[in-house]
Amino acid sequence: MMKATTDIQALCYGEILWDVLPCGAQPGGAPLNVAYHLNKLGLPTGLISKVGDDEAGRKLCGLLDEWGIGSNLVQTDQRYNTSEVLVTLNSEKEATYDILYPVAWDFIAGNDHIYAQIKTTGYLVYGSLSSRNKTSRETLATLLDHQITKVLDINLREPYVNKHDLEGLLSKADIVKFNEEELKRISSMFGGRYHIEMDMVDFIRDTFQISELLVTKGSAGATAYSEGGTFNARGSKITVADTVGSGDAFLAAFILGKHNKYDEQTAINNAVAMGAFTATLKGGCPDYSPADFENFKSRIINYHQ
């Protein structure tokens, strides 16, 4: 068995890619974005993914090394190219995505190094998109059998929405993040006939035995539902640069709060602030320091107490 990297506290599994935006190509993919922000905020994080044997893949791996994100579990595919996603921004600067298929991260293979690392890590962050192909789906299923806090970021992207696969991913999760539309869709998909958010949340939590569920609401903030109660955090008035990766930044800050044993209200407040902060910056992996984020938080006066 290969030796694990002992300082890695979280692993993010799935897509690593270039977001091709109107202003140019930016590194992205939800797992990469979450790993980037976790690492920025002080939680050592690694990435499990796959790139092509091409210049685009080498540039991504170079960025991981530059940012200090654990890249030893990023594989190289000799057949399939590094992923690209064509991103379109509407008048409200909200993003839509054209995700090419197949690409290298569809073929993440399990190996001894990955299995050794998962045993020494506190959190596994994964999304539904990374299960669109059999190879990566089966590798993820093996990882989800390990005793680790499993964080699912629902990421419904047509035509890669499969009820059977979603059922397996939800049933393994400890924490799940939805936006409002995803919550409605997943509730309906599995037989829920509810129109009130709390009823939909209760239905999903009971159906899949999920301990904690997060619902993001754009500029309106977010709500965390857990065994300890319901915790709301209001959004803030900001000037939006783009919304690419803001949900991933939100999730990273929430995971950090769990790791640092913040109370639920503080954790969701920080997560909403982080999502808003990154929406003021361009791209999924913008340059900033933790001090920049703390300065931003200090200017927010409408936290829900």
Q: How far apart are CA 110 and CA 60, in angstroms?
A: 21
Q: Which domains does the chain have, with CATH numbers?
A: 10-15+30-49+112-295 (3.40.1190.20)
pTM to 2 decimals?
0.93
> Which pLDDT tens digit goes with each residue over 39-83?
999 999 999 999 999 999 999 999 999 999 999 999 999 999 999
Tally the residues of the chain: 305
> Which pLDDT tens digit goes with each residue over 263-277?
999 999 999 999 999
| Residue 274 Cα to chain centre, angstroms | 13
Structural contact between residues 190 and 210, judged by C-beta atoms closer than 8 angstroms: no
Amino acid (1-letter code) at residue 59: K
1 confidence band (pLDDT: 50, 70, 90): very low
Supply φ then ψ for residue 162, to 5 degrees: -130, 120
217 confidence band (pLDDT: 50, 70, 90): very high
